[in-house]
Amino acid sequence: MTGYWTAAQPDEALGLKAYTNVRLLDPKSKLDIVCDSTGGLLTDGKRISNIGPNIFKNGIPKNAEEIDGEGFCLSPGLVDIRVQVREPGYEHKGTIESAGRAATAGGVTTMVCLPNTKPIIADMSQVEFVARRARKIGLSKIYPYAALTKDLKGEELTEIGILAEAGAMAFTDGDRAIANAQVLRRALSYARTFNLLIVQHPEEPSLVPPGGMNASETATRLGLPGIPREAEIIIVERDLRLVEMTGGKLHFAHISTGEAVDVIRKGKARGLNITCDTAPPYFALNDQSIGNYRTFAKLSPPLRSEDDRKAIIAGLKDGTIDAIASDHTPQDADSKRLPFTQAESGGVGLETLLAVSLDLYHNGEMSLLDTLGKITHVPAVLFNLSAGTLAKDAAADLMLFDPERGWQVKDTDLVSKAKNTPFDLRLVQGVVMRTVIDGRTVFQHEEA
């Protein structure tokens, strides 16, 4: 990703900024307006002060800096609800700063990070550390999940209420399922008293052989252990019963199978308090992408069949799948340059989140506003974040992008400290020209 980043500025240096000659896109209000030099968006310090097609008909304010959008789209910054920043403890894979640089290059202004760091985010000091470090670096805003169970062992619950007061956005064991039904039942009941969200990695661990890929003819041909689709489906079916028992609030992360989508669709129809997301690999790739043992395409959950991929798109279209998250999982080179069964799972995704999601728009599956909604407004609402909209008085977290410009994903060009993208060499459309956080331009494409 080519561009440059701007260091944090003092608040008094922000001033008024007028964005003109832009196509305003706000999924929350369904706003889609092309503005010339007489319209656009005005920020005053950290917030949006005015927006519309005629707000500059009498000229822009004399003390405002004009930013010519050159006809590009101006939307809320992306909201990514599943990111591993790796700091503290695994800085050789990634850091809060490297995640912030990758995020802003990809238009992501808000991230929610998983708790599987070292030490695990399971006490007030760790929750506060993440937010404090992100503020100091001055790139994307980062909010932490906290661990649902102590040491992520799925046995004893953490102090959910205290952690929520400290700033934890939701509770999860990251890339580990809560396999014990009684533990999850207690968690849902306890969290309900605080109106808190539990996030589940839906995968029955006893059905997941080490080093496997999706159970299929491809797995058999490659001689790799198979991870059956049922590993996901069983957990989703079980957990819906637990939600029904407790009245709790549950979110399923990175759904990858068509049958799980069907189960969630039926659960929503019954009025259960459930939501879910998926990640770009599950609607843009299938298990054939493993090719000749490509470890960059080894993910958790694994890439599924073509039928599953199409079912994920159908779930996005009809709203069963609420949001799209990058599932950014940086791994160091030594963890990926191993035989497939020994390599670590996961792929980086912050810089490709927008472009790959826009495949849904370019392929005619979803409108541009609906696609953007899955990565802005909807995830912000799910996690009660003040983000994802262009409304007056909202935070001036913005993304200026060209939805048509094409580029090729190359692992060596990524800003992320880790380069393990499953989309290596893929042709995509959608380039971020400028990323703005709290009124500050923090990233500009080199041509902007």
The set of catalytic residues is: 327
Task: Answer yes or no: are the C-beta atoms of 149 and 180 closer than 8 Å.
Answer: no
Write the CA distances from 32 to 291, 371, 380, integer angstroms.
Answer: 41, 13, 20
Q: CA 260 to CA 102: how far, in whole Å?
A: 31
Q: CA 289 to CA 295: how far, in whole Å?
A: 10
Q: CA 389 to CA 391: how far, in whole Å?
A: 6
φ and ψ at 345, to 5 degrees? -90, 155
For the sheet with 108-113, list strands across it. Answer: 78-83, 108-113, 141-144
DSSP 300-323: SSPP--HHHHHHHHHHHHTTSS-E
DSSP 63-105: TEEEEE-TT-EEEEPEEEEEE---TTT-TTT--HHHHHHHHHH
Which residues make beta-bridge pairs with 74? 24, 400
Query: What's the one-letter identity of residue 239?
Result: D
Q: Shortest CA distance to 113 belongs to which of 95, 136, 101?
A: 95
Enumerate residues 6+ apart whose C-beta is below 8 A from 337: 295, 343
Strands 64-68 and 440-445: unpaired
For the sheet with 16-20, list strands across it. Answer: 47-52, 40-44, 16-20, 64-68
Task: Answer yes or no: are the C-beta atoms of 23 and 33 closer than 8 Å.
Answer: yes
Ramachandran class of 396: left when φ > 0, alpha when ψ lies in -120 to 50, beta otherwise: beta
